[in-house]
Structure 1
Amino acid sequence: MRAIILAAGLGLRLQQPPGEQFPKCLLRFDGMTLLERHLRMLDAAGVTEIVLALGFQPEQVKAELDRLGHSPHPEIVLNQRYELGSVLTVHTVADALTRGGDVLLMDADVLYDERILAALVAGDSVNRLLIDRDFETGDEPVKLCLRDGLPVELRKQVAVGLEYDTIGESVGFFRFSEQTARRLAQIVAGYVERNQEKMPHEEAVRDLLLEGGHAFEIADVTGAPWLEIDFPGDVARARDEVLPQLQRWSGVPSGVTP
């Protein structure tokens, strides 16, 4: 199993002061960067093949990797046009998507409990989505809608009249079998060929879900704390609300340092 961590974006909505901007994966909580948390949790879950998709300020991320001395060293792939959408970043790591085996596709800017990752990696080869039914409504969350246990929508805006019996927020982590990962790479390549590089990669995943032919399991992680960090207020929420709830796992502190 291979993990692809998307960490290329500028993070403009975080409103960092000019000249002091840094990749969101380097945000620190309890003295530990999000990147270090990702690496430790993946290692604990037995996922040792890791690909980092970088773009903005890659040298800062490389310096953090050098500091951590993580082994094996993650593979680094650069998206030189990182200011465009994340679909281009996924296209940049097409080789990692298609070289075989199950693939985890993960946003880097998420602070999350170990139960989130455990639900994603459990079992044999499978396609899997994560849903959190306890979410704040609004335009920002990517909604995952189900009907009879099957995904029928993955978008921030749910179409009026769409029939579904379950709705929640997509955590932003996906698992794809080898065959499905290869198909996703083809869909993403189509976006790039049509000059739609500015699209979010979730649109390509949505196309994959709705075209059929790929069975997806749905793992309900409602109750497990997590937060995607996009805005300044999210940093405070992550520190004050999410961090104190995280379960402790070997070698990684979960509480707020006094």
Structure 2
Amino acid sequence: MRAIILAAGLGLRLQQQAGEQFPKCLLPFEGVSLLERHLQLLEAAGVTEVVLALGFQPEQVDAELKRIGWPHPVETVLNTRFDLGSVLTVHCVADALTRGGDVLLMDADVLYDERVLAPLVAGDAPTNRLLIDRDFEAGDEPVKLCLRDGVPVELRKQLAVGLQYDTIGESVGFFRLNEATAKRFAQIVAGYVDSGRANLPHEEAVRDLLLERGPEFDTADVTGAPWIEIDFPNDVVRAAEEVLPQLRPVVSRVKQPTL
């Protein structure tokens, strides 16, 4: 299983208000960056093949990788047009999507607990899986995941009037795709780029994939597990005061080489 972490964006909504400029994956909580926590949790889950999609200030992320000293190679891919949408960032990692095996597609700007990741990576069989949190704040900011009879029927911030569904929650922003689905997703993303829609968020391409192959996905409910996507300065405060105290210590399940 391979993890692709999307960490290319400018994070304008956070940077403009906070007055600082650095990749959001470098936000520290108790001295540990979001990126380091990602790597710790992935290793604990047995995932050590990581592809990191960079764009804004990649040298800072490279420096953080060296500081962390994670004992597994991290492949980095650069999107030089990171000022456009995340569709282009996903397109830049098309090789990682299509080289075989299950893929975890993950946003970098999330502080989360192992209880969020565990159901996503559970099971050895090839799987398509989504995460849903039914306890979410209403409004236009959360990306809503809607299900009908267990099948995804929508993935958007704003829902169409009259949409029929029986379950609604917030998408955590992490997706597991099996080999065939990952290759199809890469094709959909390429279609966006070729048709001049590279400025769109990659969730739009994920939405197309879900509407096309919804019955092939299962959904893990992570309601109650601590996590937060960080977009605004207030999210940083909530992450530190509300989410961080709930996180369980990370225990690696991967044996380190003996010296």
Into which bin does the TM-score normalised by the smaller protein fall?
over 0.9
Distance in 2 (CA, whole Å) between partners of 1:18 and 1:163 is 39
Paired position in structure 2 for 1:109: 109
Equivalent positions of 1:133-172 (< 5 A) are 133-172=134-173
Q: Give the secondary-structure state (helix, strand or coil) at the position aligned to 1:111.
A: strand
What is aligned with 2:62?
62
Q: Distance in 2 between matches of 1:144 and 1:213?
A: 12
Residue 97 (structure 1) aligned with residue 87 (structure 2): no
Q: CA RMSD in A?
A: 1.3
Whole-Å separation in 2 of the counterparts to 1:217 and 1:199: 26
Name the SS for the 2:100 alignment partner.
coil
Partner of 1:127: 128
CA distance in 2 between partners of 1:39 and 1:61 (Å): 13
Q: Work out whether residues 148 and 165 of structure 2, in 8 Å CA contact, stay in contact via their aligned partners in 1.
A: yes
TM-aligned CA deviation for residue 250 of structure 1 = 2.2
Deviation at 1:249, TM superposition (A): 2.3
CA distance in structure 2 between the aligned counterparts of 1:17 and 1:231, rounded to whole angstroms: 8
Opposite residue 81 of structure 2, the aligned amino acid is R
Q: For 2:97 and 2:225, locate their aligned partners in 1 and report how far apart those are by CA, in whole Å.
A: 28
1:165-244 equivalences under 5 Å are 165-212=166-213, 215-244=216-245
Q: State the AA in 1 paired with 2:117.
A: L
Unaligned runs of 5+ in 1: 252-258
Deviations 1:61-99 (A, max 9, x none): 000001111121200000000000000000000000000
CA shift, 1:248, in A, is 1.9
Provide, for residues 102-138 of structure 1, a one-character-per-residue CA deviation record: whole Å limited to 9, x for no partner.
0000000000010111011001210000000000010
Deviates more, 1:166-175 or 1:19-28: 19-28
1:52 partner letter: L
TM-score by length of 2: 0.94
- Contact 2:153-2:214 at 8 Å conserved across structures: no
Q: Which residue of 2 aligns with 1:76?
A: 76
Alpha-carbon deviation of 1:246?
1.0
Per the normalisation by structure 1, the TM-score is 0.95
Aligned-pair distance for 1:193?
A: 0.2
Contact 2:132 2:172 (8 Å CA) reproduced: yes
**How far did residue 214 of structure 1 move?**
5.7
Amino acid at match of 1:221: V
- Equivalenced residues, count: 251
Structure 2: any 5+ residue segments left out of the alignment?
253-259
Give the aligned partner of residue 256 of structure 2.
none
- Counting aligned pairs with the same residue, the percent is 76
2:15 aligned residue: 15
